Amino acid sequence: MPVVTFKVSGAENCVRVAGLPYVYIRTEAGGAVLPASCPHRGGPLNLASVDATGRRLVCPWHEQTVSLARLSRRVPAVRSGDTVTAVVRGPVDAPVELGHLPVSPELDAGT
């Protein structure tokens, strides 16, 4: 599995591993690296809102919810200053690209 380091916000806040995007998000519950696409229909989770419980993301495409805890367990990560290092799923030699994805204000709390 590839180990990647990228920015927590701003330019290069997204890493694509084998074409799958990941971003760092921060909610009232804390920070985590999450896949930036909805597991249900591929919607942009980087633009998701947080439900009333603060424990689930709401997909902006179809309003299906997905557990923050479930998503964050899939990507072990450590933040240090303005960067985060994560272990993402995929072959060790998978292509890795840095890029930028906008993050909804609800997922950028306190970064």
CATH code where residue 14 lies:
2.102.10.10
What range does the domain containing 9 cover?
3-107
C-alpha span between 45 and 23 (Å, rounded): 9
What CA–CA distance (Å, rounded) separates 10 from 61?
Answer: 24
- How confident is the model over 1-52, as pLDDT tens digits? 899 999 999 999 999 999 999 999 998 878 999 999 998 888 999 999 999 9
Total domains in the chain come to 1
Sign of CA dihedral 69, 72, 78, 84: negative
82: which DSSP letter?
T
Which tens digits make up the pLDDT trace of 50-77?
999 989 999 999 999 999 988 888 899 9
